[in-house]
Protein backbone atom coordinates (compact mmCIF):
# COMPACT_ATOMS: atom_id res chain seq x y z
CA UNK A 1 0.00 0.00 0.00
CA UNK A 2 1.26 3.47 -0.87
CA UNK A 3 0.76 4.81 2.64
CA UNK A 4 3.12 2.21 4.15
CA UNK A 5 5.98 3.08 1.82
CA UNK A 6 5.31 6.83 1.76
CA UNK A 7 5.18 7.15 5.56
CA UNK A 8 7.94 4.55 6.04
CA UNK A 9 5.69 2.55 8.36
CA UNK A 10 7.17 -0.58 9.93
CA UNK A 11 4.33 -1.73 12.20
CA UNK A 12 0.66 -1.99 11.19
CA UNK A 13 -2.50 -2.90 13.08
CA UNK A 14 -5.74 -3.39 11.14
CA UNK A 15 -9.09 -3.55 12.95
CA UNK A 16 -12.55 -4.64 11.80
CA UNK A 17 -11.05 -6.03 8.61
CA UNK A 18 -13.56 -8.87 7.99
CA UNK A 19 -10.84 -10.60 5.94
CA UNK A 20 -11.61 -14.32 5.83
CA UNK A 21 -8.98 -17.06 5.94
CA UNK A 22 -9.15 -17.69 2.18
CA UNK A 23 -8.15 -14.07 1.47
CA UNK A 24 -5.44 -13.76 4.11
CA UNK A 25 -2.66 -15.03 1.83
CA UNK A 26 -3.49 -12.46 -0.84
CA UNK A 27 -3.52 -9.68 1.76
CA UNK A 28 -0.08 -10.76 2.98
CA UNK A 29 1.41 -10.87 -0.55
CA UNK A 30 -0.11 -7.54 -1.58
CA UNK A 31 0.71 -5.55 1.55
CA UNK A 32 3.14 -7.26 3.91
CA UNK A 33 5.37 -9.56 1.89
CA UNK A 34 8.58 -10.24 3.83
CA UNK A 35 7.07 -9.01 7.11
CA UNK A 36 5.90 -10.97 10.14
CA UNK A 37 2.14 -11.32 10.17
CA UNK A 38 -0.53 -12.59 12.56
CA UNK A 39 -4.29 -12.34 13.06
CA UNK A 40 -7.07 -13.54 15.35
CA UNK A 41 -8.66 -15.87 12.79
CA UNK A 42 -8.36 -18.75 15.27
CA UNK A 43 -10.74 -16.92 17.59
CA UNK A 44 -13.01 -14.99 15.20
CA UNK A 45 -14.33 -16.31 11.85
CA UNK A 46 -13.97 -12.93 10.12
CA UNK A 47 -10.44 -12.13 11.29
CA UNK A 48 -11.23 -8.81 12.95
CA UNK A 49 -7.64 -7.97 13.98
CA UNK A 50 -4.44 -8.19 11.92
CA UNK A 51 -0.95 -7.20 13.08
CA UNK A 52 2.08 -7.01 10.78
CA UNK A 53 5.61 -5.73 11.36
CA UNK A 54 8.87 -5.32 9.49
CA UNK A 55 11.56 -7.49 11.12
CA UNK A 56 14.22 -4.98 10.09
CA UNK A 57 12.62 -2.36 12.35
CA UNK A 58 10.74 -4.12 15.14
CA UNK A 59 10.96 -7.08 17.46
CA UNK A 60 7.48 -8.00 18.69
CA UNK A 61 6.64 -10.23 21.65
CA UNK A 62 2.94 -11.15 21.72
CA UNK A 63 1.78 -11.86 25.27
CA UNK A 64 -0.72 -14.71 25.36
CA UNK A 65 -2.39 -16.48 22.46
CA UNK A 66 -5.47 -14.38 21.79
CA UNK A 67 -6.21 -11.15 19.97
CA UNK A 68 -9.70 -10.23 21.13
CA UNK A 69 -12.25 -7.88 19.64
CA UNK A 70 -14.79 -5.93 21.75
CA UNK A 71 -18.04 -4.63 20.33
CA UNK A 72 -20.73 -2.48 21.92
CA UNK A 73 -22.90 -2.75 25.02
CA UNK A 74 -22.00 -5.34 27.62
CA UNK A 75 -19.03 -6.47 25.48
CA UNK A 76 -17.27 -3.20 26.38
CA UNK A 77 -17.21 -3.88 30.14
CA UNK A 78 -14.23 -6.30 29.91
CA UNK A 79 -12.45 -3.72 27.76
CA UNK A 80 -12.93 -0.98 30.39
CA UNK A 81 -11.59 -3.38 33.01
CA UNK A 82 -8.61 -4.18 30.79
CA UNK A 83 -7.79 -0.48 30.32
CA UNK A 84 -7.99 0.09 34.07
CA UNK A 85 -5.95 -2.99 35.03
CA UNK A 86 -3.17 -2.14 32.57
CA UNK A 87 -3.03 1.53 33.58
CA UNK A 88 -3.56 2.80 30.03
CA UNK A 89 -4.11 6.41 29.00
CA UNK A 90 -4.32 8.38 25.76
CA UNK A 91 -1.22 9.04 23.72
CA UNK A 92 -1.09 12.70 22.66
CA UNK A 93 -2.73 13.12 19.27
CA UNK A 94 -3.21 15.67 16.51
CA UNK A 95 -5.13 15.71 13.26
CA UNK A 96 -8.76 14.74 12.80
CA UNK A 97 -10.78 14.76 16.03
CA UNK A 98 -13.66 12.74 14.58
CA UNK A 99 -12.24 9.42 13.39
CA UNK A 100 -15.32 7.92 11.71
CA UNK A 101 -18.29 9.02 9.64
CA UNK A 102 -21.15 7.17 7.98
CA UNK A 103 -20.30 8.60 4.53
CA UNK A 104 -23.78 10.03 4.10
CA UNK A 105 -24.43 13.45 2.60
CA UNK A 106 -25.81 16.65 4.12
CA UNK A 107 -27.81 16.44 7.33
CA UNK A 108 -27.68 12.64 7.25
CA UNK A 109 -23.92 12.61 7.80
CA UNK A 110 -22.81 11.47 11.27
CA UNK A 111 -19.35 12.02 12.74
CA UNK A 112 -17.96 10.26 15.82
CA UNK A 113 -14.75 9.87 17.81
CA UNK A 114 -14.40 6.07 17.84
CA UNK A 115 -10.64 5.53 17.72
CA UNK A 116 -8.13 5.97 20.52
CA UNK A 117 -4.49 5.01 20.92
CA UNK A 118 -3.60 4.00 24.48
CA UNK A 119 -0.30 3.32 26.22
CA UNK A 120 0.86 2.44 29.72
CA UNK A 121 3.09 4.60 31.92
CA UNK A 122 6.24 2.65 30.99
CA UNK A 123 5.67 3.50 27.32
CA UNK A 124 4.86 7.15 28.02
CA UNK A 125 7.93 7.53 30.24
CA UNK A 126 10.20 5.90 27.64
CA UNK A 127 8.73 7.75 24.66
CA UNK A 128 7.35 11.01 26.11
CA UNK A 129 7.39 12.74 22.73
CA UNK A 130 5.47 9.99 20.90
CA UNK A 131 2.53 11.42 18.98
CA UNK A 132 -0.48 10.09 17.10
CA UNK A 133 -1.68 11.73 13.91
CA UNK A 134 -5.22 10.85 12.85
CA UNK A 135 -5.06 11.11 9.06
CA UNK A 136 -7.95 11.75 6.63
CA UNK A 137 -9.88 8.50 6.17
CA UNK A 138 -9.24 8.27 2.40
CA UNK A 139 -10.22 4.75 1.29
CA UNK A 140 -11.01 3.68 4.86
CA UNK A 141 -14.15 4.19 6.91
CA UNK A 142 -12.02 5.13 9.94
CA UNK A 143 -9.16 7.63 10.11
CA UNK A 144 -5.79 5.83 10.10
CA UNK A 145 -3.76 6.51 13.26
CA UNK A 146 -0.07 7.14 12.54
CA UNK A 147 2.26 6.79 15.54
CA UNK A 148 5.48 8.82 15.39
CA UNK A 149 8.32 8.40 17.91
CA UNK A 150 10.90 11.16 18.09
CA UNK A 151 13.85 9.34 19.64
CA UNK A 152 16.15 12.34 19.53
CA UNK A 153 13.84 14.05 22.01
CA UNK A 154 13.38 11.07 24.35
CA UNK A 155 14.82 12.91 27.37
CA UNK A 156 12.10 15.52 27.33
CA UNK A 157 9.84 15.19 30.38
CA UNK A 158 6.19 14.31 29.96
CA UNK A 159 4.10 17.41 30.78
CA UNK A 160 1.65 17.29 33.68
CA UNK A 161 -1.99 17.48 32.60
CA UNK A 162 -4.89 18.30 34.92
CA UNK A 163 -8.21 16.62 34.07
CA UNK A 164 -11.42 18.38 35.07
CA UNK A 165 -13.16 15.14 36.04
CA UNK A 166 -10.63 14.62 38.88
CA UNK A 167 -12.59 17.10 41.03
CA UNK A 168 -15.61 14.74 40.98
CA UNK A 169 -13.67 11.73 42.31
CA UNK A 170 -14.05 10.63 45.91
CA UNK A 171 -10.38 11.08 46.93
CA UNK A 172 -9.75 14.42 45.21
CA UNK A 173 -10.47 16.70 48.19
CA UNK A 174 -8.44 14.65 50.65
CA UNK A 175 -5.44 14.47 48.29
CA UNK A 176 -5.46 18.24 47.74
CA UNK A 177 -5.92 18.92 51.47
CA UNK A 178 -3.07 16.57 52.45
CA UNK A 179 -0.73 17.99 49.83
CA UNK A 180 -1.51 21.60 50.73
CA UNK A 181 -1.01 21.05 54.46
CA UNK A 182 2.48 19.60 53.98
CA UNK A 183 5.14 21.67 55.74
CA UNK A 184 7.69 23.28 53.41
CA UNK A 185 10.35 25.74 54.59
CA UNK A 186 11.47 28.68 52.44
CA UNK A 187 10.13 31.73 50.65
CA UNK A 188 6.47 32.00 49.69
CA UNK A 189 7.19 31.18 46.03
CA UNK A 190 9.45 28.24 46.98
CA UNK A 191 6.73 26.81 49.26
CA UNK A 192 4.10 27.20 46.55
CA UNK A 193 6.20 25.48 43.86
CA UNK A 194 7.12 22.54 46.09
CA UNK A 195 3.58 22.02 47.35
CA UNK A 196 2.35 21.94 43.75
CA UNK A 197 5.11 19.47 42.86
CA UNK A 198 4.16 17.12 45.70
CA UNK A 199 0.47 17.51 44.90
CA UNK A 200 1.08 16.52 41.30
CA UNK A 201 2.20 13.00 42.27
CA UNK A 202 -0.95 12.43 44.32
CA UNK A 203 -3.22 13.69 41.55
CA UNK A 204 -1.65 11.38 38.96
CA UNK A 205 -2.95 8.44 40.99
CA UNK A 206 -6.50 9.65 40.38
CA UNK A 207 -6.22 8.49 36.76
CA UNK A 208 -6.62 4.86 37.81
CA UNK A 209 -9.44 5.64 40.24
CA UNK A 210 -11.21 7.63 37.52
CA UNK A 211 -11.00 4.82 34.98
CA UNK A 212 -12.27 2.37 37.56
CA UNK A 213 -15.22 4.62 38.44
CA UNK A 214 -16.05 5.06 34.76
CA UNK A 215 -16.07 1.29 34.30
CA UNK A 216 -18.41 0.89 37.29
CA UNK A 217 -20.74 3.58 35.94
CA UNK A 218 -20.84 1.89 32.52
CA UNK A 219 -21.61 -1.47 34.12
CA UNK A 220 -24.43 0.03 36.19
CA UNK A 221 -25.83 1.89 33.18
CA UNK A 222 -25.96 -1.33 31.16
CA UNK A 223 -28.12 -2.92 33.86
CA UNK A 224 -30.83 -0.26 33.44
Mean pLDDT of successive 10-residue stretches along the chain, which has 224 residues: 78 82 85 87 76 87 57 64 79 87 84 86 83 85 87 59 75 85 80 80 68 45 46
Where do the structural domains in the chain lie, given as residue ranges? 1-59, 78-158, 164-223
Confidence at residue 167, expressed as pLDDT on a 0 to 100 scale:
80
Confidence at residue 133, expressed as pLDDT on a 0 to 100 scale:
92
d(CA 129, CA 154): 6
Confidence at residue 1, expressed as pLDDT on a 0 to 100 scale:
64
DSSP assignment of 93-129 equals EEE-S--EE----GGG--EE-----EE-HHHHHH-TT
Confidence at residue 146, expressed as pLDDT on a 0 to 100 scale:
92
Confidence at residue 212, expressed as pLDDT on a 0 to 100 scale:
45
Confidence at residue 73, expressed as pLDDT on a 0 to 100 scale:
53
Amino acid sequence: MRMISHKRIGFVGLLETKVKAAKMGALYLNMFQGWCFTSNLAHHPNGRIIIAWNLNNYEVDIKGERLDYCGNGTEMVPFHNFVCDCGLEDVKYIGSYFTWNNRQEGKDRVFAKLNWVLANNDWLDKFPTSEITFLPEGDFDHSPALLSIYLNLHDKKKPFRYFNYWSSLRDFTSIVKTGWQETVEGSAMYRLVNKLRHLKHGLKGLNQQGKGDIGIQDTEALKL
